């Protein structure tokens, strides 16, 4: 099995963010008429839950499945709930995205963390492991 490369992982993350972010934001803001702060808070919570629960219970998200990627934990199987939460902790600041001023800082932090992850994956062509994978002791592999 080969490591999931930067391109595949980036597209998978885009698919997932489009699904969970745009879909829930529209539902909460437009359809239900919730305010910006509450909508942003719920989108942040759902985003963290989406990545954590799907990776822990199936080893992949919708985006990863579409690109034939899967996440493995330290034992070589699906990550535990704890490993999946640690792996996705970098999206947790999205919970505060609706707070004036602080929300912009949180969004910038998530964007910077994502950029650092991309650079680290790109600079490690053999294993494609970034800080969030090291922290959680996980790997992303291309399924055959």
Read out DSSP for 57-118? HHS--HHHHHTTEEEE-TTSSSPPHHHHHHHTGGGGGGGGTTSTTHHHHHHHHHHHHHHHHH
pLDDT for the residue 122:
93
Q: Where are the domains of the chain?
A: 2-142
In degrees rounded to 5, what are phi and psi of residue 140?
-110, 125
Please count the CA atoms within 13 angstroms of the CA of 81 that sit on its side-chain side: 2
pLDDT for the residue 1:
73
pLDDT for the residue 142:
93
pLDDT for the residue 31:
63
Per-residue pLDDT of the chain (144 residues; tens, 9 = 90+): 789 999 999 999 999 988 887 777 677 766 666 677 787 888 889 899 999 999 999 999 999 999 999 999 999 999 999 999 999 999 999 899 888 899 999 999 999 999 999 999 999 988 999 999 999 999 999 987
In degrees rounded to 5, what are phi and psi of residue 80?
-70, 170
Write out the two tokens for 32. 């239900």
């Amino acid at each position: 099995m080969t490591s999931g490369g930067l391109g595949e992982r980036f597209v998978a993350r885009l698919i997932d963010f489009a699904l969970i972010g745009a879909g829930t934001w529209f539902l909460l803001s437009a359809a239900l008429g919730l305010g910006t702060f509450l909508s942003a808070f719920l989108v942040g919570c759902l985003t963290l839950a989406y990545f954590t629960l799907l990776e822990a219970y199936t080893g992949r998200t919708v985006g990863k499945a579409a690109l034939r990627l899967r996440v493995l934990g330290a034992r070589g199987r699906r990550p535990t709930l704890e490993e999946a939460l640690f792996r996705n902790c970098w999206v947790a600041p999205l919970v505060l995205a609706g707070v004036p001023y602080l929300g912009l800082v949180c969004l910038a932090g998530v964007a910077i963390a994502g950029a650092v992850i991309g650079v680290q994956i790109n600079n490690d062509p053999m294993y494609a492991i970034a800080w969030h994978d090291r922290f959680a002791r996980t790997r992303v592999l291309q399924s055959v």
